[in-house]
């Protein structure tokens, strides 16, 4: 059980380590200032029907009730320790999992934890204005749930920094509250987390695509030989599922509504569809192209010595590492990556250790494809022939072998001019954003009501009806 009588709820016996407790209690007001400054705008007095963790056990871990978000009980929850856990891969394979940071890997490990931690507040900053134009109380509650949990994910990484990295850790924890998404002088670390999330279509795409990068990265870190990191990430993963659910069902509900309107009015061309106040499928495809391409950049370079180091040192594993049947050392393995040679994309086998970013990206793409297939079933069931498709892996990439090349969604290598001539067919153009935002000028807050451009969900939250008052404004 989690102790909620303490100032910082936790299941790590924080009260027994006074120095650590004081350090975190010192960070807490800085975190609150960050939340007031960069968290969801104008939301501080709202009462939101939120879930809060009560245990870290997989079943029945949450309780639901109205909470003002600044009073949300952010805390430190790790999955329980298992005494026999070992380092499961790399050169230390078979050693007992580390309970303290191995001295020689200190700075590498700190960097990974800081990079992970940095994405959490970044996403809250990216989404902060969206409450002002929500399509329903149900959706408003969901975005706030995602936001408070991303806040907690920041706490999770900050705990590790304070507990295991002394003064440098405390400095990094402060810096995590100082960087800001999109800031020219002090931006967030990774590309996708500095992109705006200007509307709800972008939000759903983000939670489908980018939160799923979270799932895969956290899964790889949950394999870590550094046991506190592994246990922290395991618990974070239980929360991540809801974020991806919000994204997948959000896009699915938009598709459903668009298809209903297209069928009812027998219209097909984007202009006619837009005139009926719903989002045309072509625009959905452009948003998909954008969010997919900036998200697959988050996996890093196709061939990366950093990734090899993370693995051989036992700090970051593969997705489902312990379920894979091989030697978990990978010294003699190869893995295919792609590169651009002249005007062709060619496959090249490289040492598997250096290709671990690419492998994780491929695991991710596999799962993404299944989600896109489910979206396409919504369109198919409506009797419409349009299909969404993932662009080629090399399309619109800024990191790795494809960076600096101009690849079409179909995988042709183009000249810069040819690519830019088509850019507005492939990626959301300013007028696409203007159109989508024109549908979202105000918020829909009457219980049970939904904006015209999105279908209601199949069911409410925690067994509540759709017309439940998920947010009270006061
Ligand atoms: N943008 O060998 P390389 C989540 C940098 S999402 C900017 O290719 P490496 C969430 C890289 O840092 C999960 N820079 O990369 C989702 C390196 O910099 P330095 C987040 C980039 O190190 C939604 C250089 O390029 N968690 O939780 O193998 C809402 C060359 O490095 C980018 C993690 O990412 C980029 N896209 O891999 C809320 C896990 N990509 O050293 C939350 C922790 C690469 O030259 N991070 N660079 O200065 C990692 O494991 C690794 O840092 C990365 C990069 C996989 C990100
Ligand atoms: Fe997160
Ligand atoms: Fe998330």
Residue 120 beta carbon below 6 angstroms from any ligand 1 atom: yes
Question: How many angstroms separate the Cα of 106 from the Cα of each of 11, 101, 164, 237?
Answer: 25, 6, 9, 24
Q: Would the CB of 210 count as within 6 Å of ligand 1?
A: yes
Q: What angle do CA 70, 449, 387 make, to 5 degrees?
A: 100
309 lines ligand 1 (CB under 6 A): no
Task: Report the DSSP beta bridge partners of residue 349.
Answer: 336
Per DSSP, 97 falls in state P
pLDDT 10s digits, 266-309? 999 999 999 999 999 999 999 999 999 999 999 999 999 999 99
Which architecture characterizes domain 14-302+358-384+416-472 according to CATH?
A: Orthogonal Bundle (1.10)
For residue 40 and ligand 1, the question of a CB distance below 6 A is answered with: no
- Provide the pLDDT for residue 54: 83
441-465, pLDDT tens digit by residue? 999 999 999 999 999 999 999 999 9
Q: What is the pLDDT of residue 56?
A: 83
**Is there a contact between 196 and 287 (Cβ–Cβ < 8 Å)?**
no
Helix axes 416-426, 281-296, angle to 10 degrees: 120
- Which residue has the CA at smallest separation from atom 45 of ligand 1? 306
Size of the chain, expressed as the number of residues it contains: 474
- The pLDDT value given to residue 97: 98
Tokens of 446: 């009457």
Measure the CA dihedral 137/138/144/147, to 10°: -150
Question: How far does residue 123's CA lie from ligand 1's centre (Å)?
Answer: 15
Average pLDDT, the chain: 97
User: What's the pLDDT at 424?
Assistant: 98
Query: In 165-199, which ranges are continuous DSSP H helix?
Result: 166-178
Sheet containing strand 62-68, edge to edge, reads: 62-68, 47-53, 471-472
354 within 8 A of 310, measured Cβ to Cβ: no
CA distance 134 to 445: 8
Question: Under 8 Å CB-to-CB from 382, ≥6 apart: which residues?
Answer: 256, 259, 260, 262, 263
Of all residues in the chain, the percent with pLDDT exceeding 70 is 100
Residues 6+ apart with CB under 8 A from 448: 465, 466, 467
* Calpha distance 389→410 (Å, rounded): 10
Can you say whether the dihedral through the CA atoms of 400, 401, 406, 407 is positive or negative? negative
- 60 pLDDT higher than 80: no
pLDDT value at residue 439: 98
Q: What tens digit of pLDDT does each residue of 73-119 get?
A: 999 999 999 989 999 999 999 999 999 999 999 999 999 999 999 99
Helix (H, G, I), strand (E, B), or coil: what is residue 474? Answer: coil
- Among 306, 313, 403, residue to substitute to test ligand 1 (most atoms within 8 Å of Cβ): 306
Q: Where are the domains of the chain?
A: 14-302+358-384+416-472
Neighbours of ion ligand 2 (CB under 5 A): 120, 150, 153, 214
Q: Which of 338, 332, 331, 279 is nearest to 303 (CA)?
A: 338
Residue 382, pLDDT above cutoff 80: yes
Q: How many CB atoms are closer than 10 A to CB 252?
A: 22
Question: Which residue is associated with the tokens 């407790």?
Answer: 21
Candidate of 39, 107, 108, 190 to mutate for ligand 1, largest count of ligand atoms within 8 Å of Cβ: 190
pTM of the model: 0.97
Average pLDDT over every residue of 263-267: 98
Residue 68 pairs in a beta bridge with 47
Q: Whose CA is nearest to atom 24 of ligand 1?
A: 300
Query: For residue 207, how far is its CA from the centre of ligand 1 (angstroms)?
Result: 18
Mean pLDDT of 370-377: 98
């Amino acid at each position: 059980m989690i102790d909620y009588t303490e100032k910082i709820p936790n299941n790590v016996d924080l009260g027994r380590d006074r120095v650590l407790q004081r350090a975190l209690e010192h960070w807490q007001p800085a975190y609150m200032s960050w939340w007031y400054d960069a968290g969801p705008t104008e939301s501080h007095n709202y009462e939101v029907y939120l879930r809060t963790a009560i245990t870290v056990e997989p079943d029945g871990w949450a309780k639901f009730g109205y909470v003002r978000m600044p009073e949300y009980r952010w805390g430190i929850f790790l999955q329980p320790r298992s005494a026999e856990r070992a380092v499961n891969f790399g050169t230390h394979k078979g050693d007992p999992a580390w309970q303290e940071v191995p001295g020689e890997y200190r700075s590498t490990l700190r960097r990974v934890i800081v990079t992970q931690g940095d994405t959490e507040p970044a996403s809250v900053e990216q989404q902060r204005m969206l409450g002002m134009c929500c399509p329903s109380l149900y959706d408003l509650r969901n975005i706030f749930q995602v936001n408070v949990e991303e806040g907690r994910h920041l706490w999770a990484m900050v705990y590790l920094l304070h507990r295991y990295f002394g003064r440098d850790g405390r400095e990094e924890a402060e810096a995590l509250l100082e960087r800001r998404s999109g800031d020219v002088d002090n931006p967030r670390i990774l590309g996708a987390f500095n992109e705006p999330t200007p509307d709800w279509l972008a939000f759903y795409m983000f939670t489908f695509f980018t939160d799923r990068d979270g799932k895969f990265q956290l899964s790889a870190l949950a394999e870590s030989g550094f046991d506190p990191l592994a246990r922290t990430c395991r618990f974070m993963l239980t929360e991540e599922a809801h974020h991806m659910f919000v994204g997948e069902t959000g896009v699915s509900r938009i598709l459903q509504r668009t298809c209903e309107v297209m069928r009812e009015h027998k219209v097909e061309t984007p202009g006619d569809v837009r005139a009926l106040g719903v989002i045309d499928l072509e625009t959905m495809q452009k948003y998909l192209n954008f969010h997919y391409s900036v998200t697959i950049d988050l996996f890093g370079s196709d061939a990366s010595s950093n990734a090899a180091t993370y693995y051989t040192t036992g700090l970051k594993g593969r997705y489902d590492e312990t379920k894979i049947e091989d030697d978990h050392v990978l010294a003699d393995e190869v893995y295919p990556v792609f590169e651009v040679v002249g005007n062709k994309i060619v496959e090249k086998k490289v040492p598997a250790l250096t290709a671990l970013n690419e492998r994780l990206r491929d695991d991710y793409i596999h799962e993404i494809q299944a989600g896109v297939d489910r979206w396409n079933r919504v369109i198919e069931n409506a009797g419409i022939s349009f299909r969404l498709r993932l662009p080629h892996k090399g399309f619109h990439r800024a990191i790795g072998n494809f960076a600096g090349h101009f690849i079409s969604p179909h995988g042709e290598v183009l000249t810069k001019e040819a690519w830019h001539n088509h850019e507005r067919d492939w990626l959301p153009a300013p007028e696409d954003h203007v159109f989508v935002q024109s549908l979202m000028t105000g918020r829909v807050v009457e219980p049970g009501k939904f904006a015209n451009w999105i279908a209601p969900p199949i069911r409410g939250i925690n067994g509540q009806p759709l017309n439940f008052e998920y947010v009270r404004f006061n």
